[in-house]
Amino acid sequence: MMMALIDEIIYAVLAVYAFGSVLYFRGARTGQKKVFQAAFIMAITGVVLNLLVLIIRTIIAGRLPLSNGAEFLLLFTWITVVFYLILQKKIQYKGAGGLVLLMAALLILAGAVLMKEQFGTAMPLMPALKSPWLCVHVLTAALAYAGFALAAGLALWCVWGKSQAIGNSIIYSIVASGFAMLSLSIVFGAIWAEQAWGTYWSWDPKETWALVTWIIYALYLHLHKKMESQERQASIMVIAGFVFVLFTFFGVNYLLPGLHSYGVVLNNLNLFG
Amino acid sequence: MTAGLNRLSRERQHFFSERDYMDSMKKIYHFISTMKTGLMLLVLLGLAAAMGRVIFPDSFSHAILFKMLLLLLLINMTCCTINRIIWFKSVFIYKRRKGFLKQFGILLLHAGIVLIMIGGVIFSCYGGSEQIQIVKHETKDISHVIKTNQVKPISMHLDDFKIEFNDDGSASQYYSFLTLLEDGQTKEKAVISVNHPLNCGGVKAYQMSFGYKVKVKHINSEGMETEDLFNEGDVLKIPGTERVVKIFRYIPNFDPAHGMTSITMRSDNPRIIFSVYENNNLLGVGAVEFGERVEIDNNVFAVFTGVEPYTVLCVKSDPGLPMVLSGGVMFMLGVCLALLTSHSKKAVRK
């Protein structure tokens, strides 16, 4: 019953984010204040509904929603939109709202298509996931991914050359915070892996691609000073980084299975999926 | 006079060649220690890891070229860190300027990465890791995994193996009840499970996997009974018949609708799946309960009496681990200080 309700709310979240995106785009084109206000209300509604799904899943499963791809996607999308709304309020910036909400809607859509069975069920935790490190590892990863998503949305808006483009220093600050969270997530994950698998680094597909993503953003942070006069190139690098983030999340889960593929495979008696 | 000039010329030559040598060394050090080289190496490492993961998923990390790349990165990072320490001391030692925390964070995170990499090198030189399989009531020697000056042999005995289940029959936790023996004497008793490894005197053991051996009693045409343990997939040859029995798989919770797949890991409805062959021709396949007597040939029987669990542990000794852990903590602290503190333009390093 509750699980069926989750499905309904997820589609509502998708619709609200998509509609909010359209309103933000329209507001950016016409500059009408009322349209922006309507878009802001839609974004708030989406955030509330998204949070509601996370709360219901927490109640049903009796734990924080951090243990599978669908839960992670819902959390990271929610944080992305929350970050955007904070940014909008803090610096009175409304520019990239259309792109950020569009990304949020696409992420929810991808989850609804690719992870439909995970949205509607709450399985007990498998032994490998029963660790206090799960919470900090996944939370920091979700914060990092959300930061990179927001930065990519703002950078895409800059590359697009739309009015009220945000300064590169704000994108830099968001990427730097996302990078710090990704670094923490990788180290927490390594400490956990050492306890669970006996090795802190095993070149598992997820680890490898997380490292590749980390390297892309490390390059951006090192070269940022040199790219101050080339805002476009810097923005393209931020967008490229987010493409790697998406591949690390979706591509690795579906194309390169490894220790991080937490599926239930009976008769394959390896304890880690 | 000529001899003196020659000597002077030789000394000058020697002096210049020494100076050239020093200049070349300085150039090499400068090249190795620059951020540009470090970034190039990082890009190469990223490319090699991404491509290697796709093309050679199981072996790319052991390739010499890949290890060379990691070693070069370690050298670069070490030189960069040394340069950064020298610069940091010259700028901040006498006066605490703006940007101190940020620059200290950058220094810490680079030093942390260096420590993590050195810890990795120590593990590959002096550490060891191996997966061992121990059947219930069996003892296995693990001395060869621990590359220290350990004189007394160390072994592990599996007292028991248990699985804890959730209500839906899925596994909640796996437990190995172990006795660690030194020179045959009990050193420590421990229970290890996933996420809770054993850590005793430099030896770490992790719960990795498990399985079952099948107990089969076979009765030949003369009525003689023998009982043995078999792995899944083993072939049982019974004296007095040409027919052989392949012990295919143990299914803890059997349902014909699921075929060879167990519904859950809990032994609610256990069966042994077996097949009988004669001259490599399959005669039949069966699923029997424990204790059920199966006639293989005239007066030749097999009885699957039960299963004996075995555990698979990863036994490891890693003398580099404390260094890796310290490096990890430094790295995390450094990242937070460098990237989450406010940006200062005054003490930005050129």
Contact yes or no for B166 and A124 at CB 8 A: yes
Contact yes or no for B194 and A218 at CB 8 A: no
Nearest to B328 among A130, A190, A218 (CB): A190
Query: Model confidence at A273, in pLDDT bands (50, 70, 90)?
Result: very low
Please count the other Cβ atoms lying within 10 Å of the Cβ belonging to residue A114.
Answer: 15
B265 to chain A: closest CA residue: A266
A195 to chain B: closest CA residue: B195
Residue B61: the pLDDT is: 86
Residue A227: the pLDDT is: 73
Q: What kind and span of H or E run contains B330? A: helix B321-340
What is the mean predicted confidence (pLDDT) over A98-102? Answer: 93
Q: Which are the contacts of A66, defined by CB distance < 8 A and separation ≥ 6?
A: A72, A75, A134, A135, A138, A139, A142
The rounded distance, in Å, linking the Cα atoms of A181 and A149 is 13
Residues in chain A: 273
**Segment among A136-145, A199-208, A264-273 with least mean pLDDT:** A264-273
Contact yes or no for B340 and A177 at CB 8 A: yes
- Write out pLDDT tens, residues B295-307: 888 888 899 999 9
Q: Which tokens belong to A91?
A: 């610096």
The rounded distance, in Å, linking the Cα atoms of A79 and A143 is 7
Taking the C-alpha atoms of B183, B184, B185 and B189 in order, what is their torsion angle to the nearest 10 degrees? 110
- Of A84, A79, A102, which Cα lies nearest the Cα of A20? A102
Measured between its terminal Cα atoms, the distance across chain B in Å is: 53
Residue B280: the pLDDT is: 86
Chain A residues touching B43 at Cβ < 8 A? 215, 219
The rounded distance, in Å, linking the Cα atoms of B209 and A119 is 29
Contact yes or no for A128 and B194 at CB 8 A: yes
What is the mean predicted confidence (pLDDT) over A12-25? Answer: 95
**Alpha carbon B174 to chain centroid, angstroms:** 19
CA distances, B246 to each of A148, A225, B166, B249, B287 (Å): 55, 68, 32, 9, 12
Residue B349: the pLDDT is: 45
Contact yes or no for A218 and B249 at CB 8 A: no
Predicted confidence (pLDDT) at residue A61 exceeds the cutoff of 90: no
Name residue, tokens 């984010």.
A17
Nearest to A264 among B129, B170, B321 (CB): B170
Contact yes or no for B53 and A131 at CB 8 A: no
Nearest to B206 among A177, A198, A269 (CB): A198
Give the closest-approach CA distance of B10 to chain A in angstroms. Answer: 48
The edge-to-edge listing of strands for the beta sheet with B154-165 is B139-141, B154-165, B171-182, B185-193
- Write out pLDDT tens, residues B258-294: 888 888 888 899 999 999 999 889 999 999 999 999 8
Nearest to B35 among A173, A212, A222 (CB): A222
The DSSP bridge partners found for residue B312 are B133, B209
Query: Model confidence at A267, in pLDDT bands (50, 70, 90)?
Result: very low
Q: Which residue has the higher pLDDT, B91 or A174?
A: A174
Contact yes or no for A269 and B340 at CB 8 A: no
Which span out of A77-81, A197-201, B260-264 was modeled with the highest average pLDDT?
Answer: A77-81
Contact yes or no for A270 and B120 at CB 8 A: no
Query: Model confidence at A225, in pLDDT bands (50, 70, 90)?
Result: confident
Nearest to A222 among B39, B167, B171 (CB): B39
CA distances, A179 to each of A92, A189, B43, B94 (Å): 25, 15, 17, 32
Chain A residues touching B39 at Cβ < 8 A? 219, 222-223
The rounded distance, in Å, linking the Cα atoms of A45 and A9 is 11
Q: Is the pTM of this model over 0.90?
A: no
Contact yes or no for A267 and B35 at CB 8 A: no
Give the closest-approach CA distance of B220 to chain A in angstroms. Answer: 32
Residue B1: the pLDDT is: 54
- Of B228, B243, B246, B220, which Cα lies nearest the Cα of B300? B220
Residue B342: the pLDDT is: 62
The rounded distance, in Å, linking the Cα atoms of B261 and B121 is 43
The rounded distance, in Å, linking the Cα atoms of B215 and A253 is 39
Which positions of chain B have pLDDT values less than 70?
1-5, 8-9, 12-16, 95-96, 147-151, 342-350
Q: Which are the contacts of B272, defined by CB distance < 8 A and separation ≥ 6?
A: B214, B247, B248, B249, B250, B251, B287, B288, B290, B304
CA distances, A181 to each of A177, B334, B338 (Å): 6, 12, 12
Backbone angles phi, psi at B130, to 5 degrees: -155, 145
